[in-house]
Structure 1
């Protein structure tokens, strides 16, 4: 992380007294071109994954159920999380309501995927414009495309839909404004993060501290920092427990210290444990490598600290690595810090070359690379069987479906994941993929046993074709 005594680089840094002129049409042209290209790529990948039935109930189905609730004028309920489960009792993400009007016009999970692609792509606009304004078109392309092809964004695009897609452009616009000396604009872009997810209030607080320390808007910065801390505290301690059926913030138990560990264990966990096991250190290295480690020269990188801390402090190993969507919010931060650091004395061309090289080297390891693979553009014949069998399920029916079949039905039925503990019992329909089982939430052996048990307790087999089983509960 950057040294605490540093200030943002002049003349493009947050302490700049005279902000350089905005770029002309060329700056907009480059930024919009990069953003449009990224939107096309993200849409192609995420929609194609859905067409191939590789999206899941956990998480695309859950978020579609939430947006569907908003679209019909209700607070978000996700049947996939449990019977009539209020989603505001899981995470505080009322920002999802913004998708309701669009979903009313296009009631399909593809609406969420396209919206996510647009939001993630839009974050490239401020980053690319700032880089071109400060360092020229070459730097703009490295920063814009580097952000767009970064492993954190690729992981998010390749794994369903998540509410953090709203946070990514907000952070990009906020930190770009801060880097260009526009403290109040930075604060206004950061504030809505409180409506995206409960932990992001801590990121808002860090942005406030950066404003207070690095600009003349000390009062604005302190007010923003206090708002961020109080907002996260209110959401975690009051709002979410009020909606949660258990009356608590569920994820608090995954952070050591919340359940009374010994002092020695806690000290070890919050020192050495923050960079071990190796997955944590590898994630940190991958984060810095995309900028050739130059981002550490900018105080903007401090905005990544809250997200890194809660992830590495958690005992959930899924949070530690570079997979899934958990690092998406880090990408606009690290590339904003990179752009700011490029304004300092040093080998700018060398840093840009290293950043571009790392992006290219890492690209094949993450989902965007799938677009180059022939298998991505082939459709298995058995998927037509799955669609034909799902068409037999009437609208508004209760259905237990395999995790990868669930989001194919959530737009028109009440869906749970087959085999998920705590789901609503005795759905009218069961549709299960036994040919290519995902192995979650139950093993293939358990899955077959559950089907046999269903048949023994009032379900008839409607179809058993190409590895798909459709059961209906008899009246």
Structure 2
């Protein structure tokens, strides 16, 4: 089917059980996507909770987002002490969607509330994609697409690294891509526009969704969506975020502007293609992204939706953006698998034996690559017996943390921060630019994380704190608790 056809995304509903293809989806097929979502919700929740219980979550990012949600839950703007005194997170990333978690946090004030919510949001993204695959290509396709998305390295990396607001974008993109692929432009626009409330750069993805809607034939709706996406991102980056963060503007624009190594002007533009594929980490990320679709996703115009996220990441000077870690690739996964579902119909448009073989080969390769990649990413920890054992030092950590009263101001090690953010005002001990105003300090001297201070610098910082009047309250299995000298007549707790 030619790419310029106005029906490029539309496909008849079809399935191919053993007796041949038929037009109507079996009733049992409606339950399959939700069953997959339930399984992945359980897996994601189990991993997230165990990581937190084993003291493997961090202040950056779980603690930061908990402070924001906690502020929303009490009717305040999303201030995070971890980012700085009275720092409004709307001046860092524009993610007002976090306020939707406030009622749940008010009922269950715990970092686990954020982790469980993230697990649910990521899991539900398999529903529209596997349902589309079932209608278009049958039960086998639904299983491969649903399991492939659920076990994908991008989603696994997000689950294995704390919490981030982009978890809201994953189901929104899954529903938007599915609607777009099934020729429902109004639904695609409706699912896409809320991305503007998730993160400021996602407006560029909305813009491309609008362009695809317009190209398919709904020009007024598509152009309106595209303009809203572009204008929304520009408004957030250059008006709203600077308004909430006076003096600093949009902090991330410089990293992208300086990321290209070819310089500025015409030379920089000529060097741009090279910057997008060097160093080799970027190529590895691209290959890992496309391999689970047997590279068939490249045949669908839906794959164009990855360009804004890939672009800002690969042009940034922050090397953490280039690889497969953290949450950065989670938003790409529903796009890639949506393009995969659409491309299956382009590779095998009919019911001939050759088309069936092509379809089954694509699904087989996709499933095999997905399974081969699982051991290299965080979901594999669920099969590690260590994950299910009690952390050897967790009990000692909680004995020390229990000495800190509710409502106290605390400067803590990165891994200890999210153990306290539900009941204390917490900053990151030794973080640059943030003065030490806390009354309590708690650090892990046995297994320091190395962020924001090296073990040596942390020891020097502790010596300076003692010189400023902090005194040791307790030390237990390497966890050190200090308190600022209390006023005369008040005993140390």
Q: TM-score range by the shorter chain?
A: over 0.9
TM-score normalised by structure 2 residue count: 0.92
Give me the CA root mean square deviation: 1.8
Whether contact under 8 Å (1:67, 1:76) holds in the other structure is yes
Q: Deviations over 1:172-223 (max 9, x none)?
A: 0011011111110000000000000000000000000111112x31111110
Match of 1:458 among 465, 469, 489: 469
Trace 1:19-418 onto structure 2 (pairs within 5 A). 23=25, 25-214=27-216, 216-256=217-257, 261-263=263-265, 265-346=267-348, 347-418=358-429
Whether contact under 8 Å (2:186, 2:221) holds in the other structure is yes
Say which is worse superposed, 260-269 or 98-107, in terms of deviation: 260-269
Q: Distance in 1 between matches of 2:167 and 2:332?
A: 11
Whether contact under 8 Å (2:58, 2:162) holds in the other structure is yes
SS at match of 1:438: coil
Trace 1:424-443 onto structure 2 (pairs within 5 A). 424-443=435-454
- Per the TM alignment, residue 465 of structure 1 is displaced from its structure 2 partner at its CA by 1.5
Greater relative CO (CA pairs within 8 A, separation 6+): 1
Corresponding position of 1:8: 8
Q: Tell me the number of residue pairs that the alignment of Structure 1 and Structure 2 aligns.
A: 466
Whether contact under 8 Å (1:12, 1:340) holds in the other structure is no
- Per the TM alignment, residue 262 of structure 1 is displaced from its structure 2 partner at its CA by 3.0
SS at match of 1:470: strand
Q: Distance in 2 between matches of 1:237 and 1:4?
A: 36
Q: Distance in 2 between matches of 1:233 and 1:345?
A: 38
Q: Distance in 2 between matches of 1:155 and 1:258?
A: 24
Q: Distance in 1 between matches of 2:78 and 2:332?
A: 27
Whether contact under 8 Å (2:125, 2:174) holds in the other structure is yes
Whether contact under 8 Å (1:184, 1:220) holds in the other structure is yes
- Per the TM alignment, residue 361 of structure 1 is displaced from its structure 2 partner at its CA by 0.6
Q: Distance in 1 between matches of 2:162 and 2:435?
A: 24
SS at match of 2:473: strand
Whether contact under 8 Å (1:10, 1:343) holds in the other structure is no
SS at match of 1:166: helix
Q: Distance in 2 between matches of 1:310 and 1:132?
A: 34
Whether contact under 8 Å (2:411, 2:436) holds in the other structure is no
- CA pair 184-370 structure 1, distance change in 2 beyond 3 A: same
Whether contact under 8 Å (1:10, 1:344) holds in the other structure is no
Corresponding position of 2:16: none
Whether contact under 8 Å (1:117, 1:157) holds in the other structure is yes
- Per the TM alignment, residue 268 of structure 1 is displaced from its structure 2 partner at its CA by 4.6
TM-score normalised by structure 1 residue count: 0.95
Unaligned 5+ runs, structure 1:
14-19
- CA pair 455-256 structure 1, distance change in 2 beyond 3 A: same
Q: Deviations over 1:69-107 (max 9, x none)?
A: 100001100100001101000000000000000000000
Say which is worse superposed, 224-233 or 242-251, in terms of deviation: 242-251
Q: Distance in 2 between matches of 1:224 and 1:406?
A: 40
Q: Distance in 2 between matches of 1:398 and 1:424?
A: 13
- Per the TM alignment, residue 27 of structure 1 is displaced from its structure 2 partner at its CA by 2.4
Whether contact under 8 Å (2:213, 2:221) holds in the other structure is yes
Whether contact under 8 Å (1:12, 1:179) holds in the other structure is no
SS at match of 2:442: strand
Unaligned 5+ runs, structure 2:
14-21, 349-357, 487-493
Q: Distance in 1 between matches of 2:80 and 2:310?
A: 28
Corresponding position of 2:351: none
